[in-house]
């Protein structure tokens, strides 16, 4: 029983960590667009939580998990305020932030997929909802500052999330124990994302499509 508690606490800590990193990305975008302190905090909250909130509304798990306690709101606002106040000093943290962001993406897509499965979604839908958990916050963040969401334009970002989610839904078909497909999915997502950043990988665009 204490062991189970430990794992639950660990998962909550990881989830809050992912929320904090995503919230910092939102606050950063808010600072770049010269929003005021309230706007920066809203973007922090949105980037950190909107993906999971969309998932929860779509599967009927209301109120969303971000609104069931005080932790998600508090950590998002803290991340927003820290970024607002110390943003000049955070510029040099570019690389660490990209790495933490990849970790957040892996965690969110895997946990989002599992929650969707637990609510009865079929594997295809669960993987899409897992991906939405990972990318939804960043999409709404971009819409609020009048940008076309980055994830729709470049980088292997969504595909990394989808790869991780795919491992989670595919694991049972290969008789993998849940713990393996969970860790494996998150690890695959992080790996794809980091390699894509390093190599500059992207998806085909209308100007540079595959050739048929």
Residues that bind a second copy (CB under 8 A): 30-31, 33-40, 42-43, 53, 57-60, 62-64, 67-70, 73-74, 84-85, 87, 119, 121-122, 124-125, 128-129, 139, 143-149, 151-154, 158-159, 202-207, 209-210, 212
What's phi and psi for 54, nearest 5 deg?
A: -60, -50
Shortest spacing between CB 82 and a second copy, in angstroms: 11
Shortest spacing between CB 179 and a second copy, in angstroms: 27
| Local structure of 208: helix, strand or coil | strand
| Residue 47 contacts residue 19 (beta carbons within 8 Å) | no
E-assigned strand segments in the chain: none
The residue assigned the tokens 């950190």 is: 48
Shortest spacing between CB 159 and a second copy, in angstroms: 6
Nearest in space to 80 (alpha carbons), one of 122, 114, 49? 49
* Element holding 167 (H helix, E strand): helix 158-170
Cβ proximity to a second copy: between 59 and 190 the closer is 59
Cβ proximity to a second copy: between 177 and 209 the closer is 209
Shortest spacing between CB 6 and a second copy, in angstroms: 26
CB-count burial class (<10 Å; 0-12, 13-18, 19+) for 82:
middle
| Residue 44 contacts residue 80 (beta carbons within 8 Å) | yes
Shortest spacing between CB 52 and a second copy, in angstroms: 12
Cβ proximity to a second copy: between 3 and 199 the closer is 199
Shortest spacing between CB 15 and a second copy, in angstroms: 17
Cβ proximity to a second copy: between 38 and 178 the closer is 38
Cβ proximity to a second copy: between 10 and 172 the closer is 172
Cβ proximity to a second copy: between 128 and 188 the closer is 128
Residue 59 to residue 185: CA distance in whole angstroms: 22
Instruction: Write the DSSP symbol of residue 210.
Output: P
């Amino acid at each position: 029983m204490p062991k189970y508690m430990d794992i639950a606490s660990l998962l909550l800590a990881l989830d809050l960590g992912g929320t904090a990193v995503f919230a910092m990305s939102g606050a950063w975008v808010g600072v770049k667009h010269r929003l005021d302190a309230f706007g920066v905090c809203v973007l922090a909250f949105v980037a950190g939580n909107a993906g999971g909130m969309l998932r929860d509304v779509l599967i009927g798990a209301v109120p969303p998990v971000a609104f069931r306690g005080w932790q998600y709101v508090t950590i998002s606002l803290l991340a927003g305020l820290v970024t607002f106040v110390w943003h000049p000093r955070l510029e040099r943290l570019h690389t660490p932030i990209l790495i933490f962001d990849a970790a957040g993406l892996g965690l969110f897509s895997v946990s989002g997929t599992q929650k969707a499965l637990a609510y009865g979604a079929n594997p295809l839908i669960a993987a899409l909802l897992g991906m939405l958990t990972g990318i939804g916050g960043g999409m709404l963040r971009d819409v609020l500052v009048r940008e076309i969401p980055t994830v729709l334009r470049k980088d292997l970002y969504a595909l990394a999330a989808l790869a991780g989610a795919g491992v989670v839904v595919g694991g049972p078909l290969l008789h993998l124990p849940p713990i393996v497909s969970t860790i494996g999915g998150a690890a695959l997502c992080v790996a794809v994302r980091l390699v894509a950043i390093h190599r500059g990988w992207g998806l085909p665009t209308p100007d540079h499509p595959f050739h048929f």
